Amino acid sequence: MTKLKGNVIVGQSGGPTAVINSSLVGVYKTAKDLGAPKVYGMLNGIRGLLEERYVDLSNHIQSDLDIELLKRTPSSFLGSCRYKLSEPAVGNPEFERIFDILKRLGVEYFFYIGGNDSMDTIKKLSDYGEMMGSSIRFMGVPKTIDNDLDVTDHTPGYGSAAKYIASITKEIIRDGLVYGTESVTIIEIMGRNAGWLAGAASLAEGEDCEGPDLIFLPEVAFDMEHFVEKIKELQKVKKSIVIAISEGIHLADGRYVAELGADLGKADAFGHKTLTGAATYLAREIGKRLDCKSRAIEFSTLQRCASHIVSRVDITEAFQVGGAAVKAAMEGETGQMIILKRVSEDPYICITDTYDVHKIANVEKKVPREWINESGDFVTEEFRHYVRPLIQAELTPIMVDGLPRHLTLRDKAYKRYEEK
Amino acid sequence: MTKLKGNVIVGQSGGPTAVINSSLVGVYKTAKDLGAPKVYGMLNGIRGLLEERYVDLSNHIQSDLDIELLKRTPSSFLGSCRYKLSEPAVGNPEFERIFDILKRLGVEYFFYIGGNDSMDTIKKLSDYGEMMGSSIRFMGVPKTIDNDLDVTDHTPGYGSAAKYIASITKEIIRDGLVYGTESVTIIEIMGRNAGWLAGAASLAEGEDCEGPDLIFLPEVAFDMEHFVEKIKELQKVKKSIVIAISEGIHLADGRYVAELGADLGKADAFGHKTLTGAATYLAREIGKRLDCKSRAIEFSTLQRCASHIVSRVDITEAFQVGGAAVKAAMEGETGQMIILKRVSEDPYICITDTYDVHKIANVEKKVPREWINESGDFVTEEFRHYVRPLIQAELTPIMVDGLPRHLTLRDKAYKRYEEK
């Protein structure tokens, strides 16, 4: 059997997902199975590596039970970062430092689990490596709840977020019916420029639920008058109205709806603005304009960390892309990201493949316009057909004393604050 | 075997819980087992009954599978209301109307599943019944996520809400650690006057989680300076700080913290103000005063409808109190509420009993001061010892096509809005 010819290092970057640690396990287990002497984990991604903060993962994943726990652990096990590398060039001290550390650790294989911005890191590192004639292979492992990575059929993390969103949307719709009174509920779902997550709320519709009434995605310019008119129409036929919106919906002139009512947050390291408050603003406007009860519910952080309800398909694929990255690197590939290819619709079958990270990094995949209805306020059946396989089946949490158990880094002292 | 001597009617009132339908099943199944010819369900509680809106439950619960689905269905299956009956008196037309409808339906047993306000309804109906020499028995079945009903050890609904709160608090705490950067997260938990729910966030603490850093309950006056100082102290020793607050925390002068920053909602039928925004206000203040990243997360409606993660202990007890109410009514009791009595701590064992609803209605049970630490910013081990048994074990959702399946009233046409 072919074996890995050196040590491995793996990092996690960007916003976490409920299954990002399943990819970490995929890298770790496959690397160990393929004979990696050491598998290091960068703490807080490339930023931590630059500070020489890393662990030997074997000290932290000590048993098969640890592996099962880690798959079910939300938030990046190794910590994350939002760090943009400078441009690679001979003599760039940032790159010299990274390659020096990797050399000292005997690392031949470098894996980075992340989204768009993280693929930019892989691209730059592999470019620099090529420039310097380094033998180290750099592979990207896709993850993001946003599903906005190009080329890949979908990204691990999206299916679980979609399952969570659809599940709680069902619960919220039922809750809204309880008093039989008129109300408008606006749920705000993550998604800055792409509406994949908000669209997933449509899956709530089924034999036991009528689903949300309207869905607004950032792919279509938001029109306040259309919004109000639609609600007025709905109010003629039903009492409890539930509307899903992406946090990033914006007007035709480009202004975010969130900007209309609230202060904007600071931009992050990649220049993305923090958006929040679109639903609150719209709920207030509807309350005023239509003189009815309205409320906003922000799904918030739990969209990316609700490990207590994940998709089995998603968690399995998250593991697979991690493992596939190790295999591909062993076979000599570098500067590639693992992608998922849907080779069959019915039954749903996805396989992994590799794709040049240069063509993926910094490209955002949006919901195709033809998967949104003409009036721009719902997704089509094609959209749902695409998402439905990704939310199938479950991975039961391992419950201890009534709560889901997680795995944590063993050297972290989880001591309570003395004064508490 | 003794049999029920007439028809049964059951209603649900007040805010729903994740297990309120398990109590409905408890009433229904026990009544059928004890020979009830008909079991009616009021639609939207006593308000619907006054409008003669009710169903024959056998038309809607048609199989054992339906029973299992109903146990797992969030939000009140029969709909709910917040309706305050007038004072019972001979000749009061409201009471005459209700008793007239009950007579026509051949109802001898009346069950009302609800909280504090709903017990007021049972009290008044049984008072009027006694006044008029009616044979109808009126029994209260406790439910409320707030756990603020007197006498009973706890209320069905609380355990599942506590389990949900503790589970997602764990996930949010982990999520907050991901970047290794300084941040203050303030989570807002339901609870107007009693801190039972916010206190449950403390259960997040365990071998794999340090738990929230501070918890503020409405039982202790909130002091802004103390709050800021505590956070400053914490920032000296850790980066990601997570604080749980009850929505109803208020200053020593009685003003709600939510009032300080935001507009107050309208009062409901029972005169309770709708509170929201305390966490948003505090996050903003902390951001300003300590110049650090801060955010608010409102746990919102899901606290009462997250059926996808419920406590098995809770769902079982919810069923038991429903069944016990039927048995007690059959044995001639009226004007009583079923209570839970903890007869053993270790192992945890609760039994049911009955208690005069006159002594329960409109009394709010708060967290004892001695279960809150001296500085008023955390709960004691006694509190946690009390709650922990209530969140144990699970009832797995029945998943269909990747989502939890619910039971709905069969005559409700779940048709999609045509224009959508």
A366-398: pLDDT as tens digits: 999 999 999 999 999 999 999 999 999 999 999
Q: Is the pLDDT of residue A306 over 90?
A: yes
CB-based contact A128:A95 (threshold 8 Å): yes
The two structure tokens encoding residue B365: 């049970």
Best of B118, B178, B391, B408 to substitute, by most chain A Cβ atoms within 10 angstroms, is B178
In terms of CA atoms, which chain B residue is nearest residue A165? Answer: B403
Contacts of residue A194, Cβ cutoff 8 Å, sequence gap at least 6: A146, A147, A148, A217, A218, A219, A246, A248, A364, A365, A366, A367
Q: Is the pLDDT of residue B267 over 90?
A: no
Residues in B touching A311 (Cβ below 8 Å): 402
In terms of CA atoms, which chain B residue is nearest residue A405? Answer: B208
pLDDT-derived band at B411 (thresholds 50, 70, 90) equals low
**Lowest mean per-residue pLDDT among A100-104, A218-222, B257-261, B288-292:** B257-261
Average pLDDT in chain B = 93
Determine whether the interchain pair A305/B167 forms a contact, defined as Cβ–Cβ distance below 8 Å.
no
Q: Of the residues B146, B148, B314, B377, which is catalytic?
A: B146
Determine whether the interchain pair B167/A234 forms a contact, defined as Cβ–Cβ distance below 8 Å.
no
**B59-63: long-range contacts at Cβ-Cβ below 8 A with a sequence spacing of 24 or more?**
B59/B410, B59/B411, B60/B407, B60/B409, B60/B410, B60/B411, B61/B25, B61/B28, B61/B407
In angstroms, what separates the C-alpha of A175 from chain B's closest C-alpha? 5
Report the pLDDT value the prediction gives residue B271, as an integer from 0 to 100.
47
Determine whether the interchain pair A206/B400 forms a contact, defined as Cβ–Cβ distance below 8 Å.
yes
Report the pLDDT value the prediction gives residue A265, as an integer from 0 to 100.
41
Report the pLDDT value the prediction gives residue A268, as an integer from 0 to 100.
43
Measured in degrees and rounded to the nearest 5, phi and psi for residue A112 equal: -130, 120
Report the pLDDT value the prediction gives residue B262, as an integer from 0 to 100.
53
Report the pLDDT value the prediction gives residue A267, as an integer from 0 to 100.
42
Q: Is the pLDDT of residue A260 over 80?
A: yes
CB-based contact B257:B243 (threshold 8 Å): no
* Cα radius of gyration rounded to whole Å, chain B: 22
Active-site residues of A, by number, are 146
Report the pLDDT value the prediction gives residue A375, as an integer from 0 to 100.
96
pLDDT-derived band at A411 (thresholds 50, 70, 90) equals low
Task: Single out the residue of B109, B52, B50, B112 nearest to residue B76, CA to CA.
Answer: B112
In angstroms, what separates the C-alpha of A104 from chain B's closest C-alpha? 25
Which of A168, A209, A210 lies nearest to residue B302, judging by beta carbons? A168
**Lowest mean per-residue pLDDT among A9-23, A257-271, B374-388:** A257-271
Determine whether the interchain pair B391/A402 forms a contact, defined as Cβ–Cβ distance below 8 Å.
yes
Contacts of residue B65, Cβ cutoff 8 Å, sequence gap at least 6: none
The neighbour count for residue B179, using CB atoms within 10 Å, is 23
Measured in degrees and rounded to the nearest 5, phi and psi for residue A140 equal: -95, 135
Q: Is B182 exposed, middle or buried (0-12, 13-18, 19+ CB in 10 A)?
A: middle
Buried b (16+ CB within 10 A) or exposed e, A371-404: bbbeebbbbbeebbebbbbbbbebbebebeebbb
Residues in B touching A211 (Cβ below 8 Å): 416
pLDDT-derived band at A155 (thresholds 50, 70, 90) equals very high
Contacts of residue A180, Cβ cutoff 8 Å, sequence gap at least 6: A239, B43, B44, B48, B79, B81
Phi/psi class of residue A209: alpha, beta or left (left: φ > 0; alpha: ψ in -120 to 50)?
beta
Task: Single out the residue of A322, A318, A330, A353 nearest to residue A36, CA to CA.
Answer: A330
Q: Is the pLDDT of residue A165 over 80?
A: yes
- Is B146 an annotated catalytic residue? yes
In terms of CA atoms, which chain B residue is nearest residue A379? Answer: B420
Which of A175, A238, A394 lies nearest to residue B301, judging by beta carbons? A175
pLDDT tens for each residue of B127-180? 999 999 999 999 999 999 999 999 999 999 999 999 999 999 999 999 999 999
Which of B178, B300, B401 lies nearest to residue A76, judging by beta carbons? B178
In terms of CA atoms, which chain A residue is nearest residue B387? Answer: A402
Across B197-236, the runs of DSSP E, i.e. the strands, are 214-216
Which of A171, A405, A406 lies nearest to residue B305, judging by beta carbons? A171
3-state helix, strand, coil in chain B (%, to 5): 40, 20, 40
In terms of CA atoms, which chain A residue is nearest residue B309? Answer: A308
Helix (H) or strand (E) holding A67, with range, is helix A64-71
In angstroms, what separates the C-alpha of A131 from chain B's closest C-alpha? 31
Determine whether the interchain pair B178/A414 forms a contact, defined as Cβ–Cβ distance below 8 Å.
no
| DSSP single-letter state for residue B304 | H
Average pLDDT over residues B92-117: 97
Q: Residue holding tokens 């899956």?
A: A203
Determine whether the interchain pair A401/B206 forms a contact, defined as Cβ–Cβ distance below 8 Å.
yes
Determine whether the interchain pair A170/B403 forms a contact, defined as Cβ–Cβ distance below 8 Å.
yes
Residues in A touching B202 (Cβ below 8 Å): none
Task: Single out the residue of B327, B114, B147 nearest to residue B246, CA to CA.
Answer: B147
The neighbour count for residue B90, using CB atoms within 10 Å, is 9
pLDDT-derived band at B380 (thresholds 50, 70, 90) equals very high
∠ Cα B147 B152 B154 (to 5°): 35
**Does the CA dihedral A215-A218-A220-A224 come out positive or negative?**
positive
The pTM of the full predicted model, rounded to 2 decimals, is 0.95
Determine whether the interchain pair A75/B213 forms a contact, defined as Cβ–Cβ distance below 8 Å.
no
Q: Is the pLDDT of residue B318 over 50?
A: yes
Which of A305, A405, A414 lies nearest to residue B175, judging by beta carbons? A305
pLDDT tens for each residue of A320-351? 999 999 999 999 999 999 999 999 999 999 99
Q: Residue holding tokens 């570098």?
A: A334
Higher pLDDT, B410 or A236: A236
**Upstream peptide bond of A347 is cis (omega within 30 degrees of 0):** yes
Q: Which residues share a beta bridge with A341?
A: A351
Q: Is the pLDDT of residue B81 over 60?
A: yes
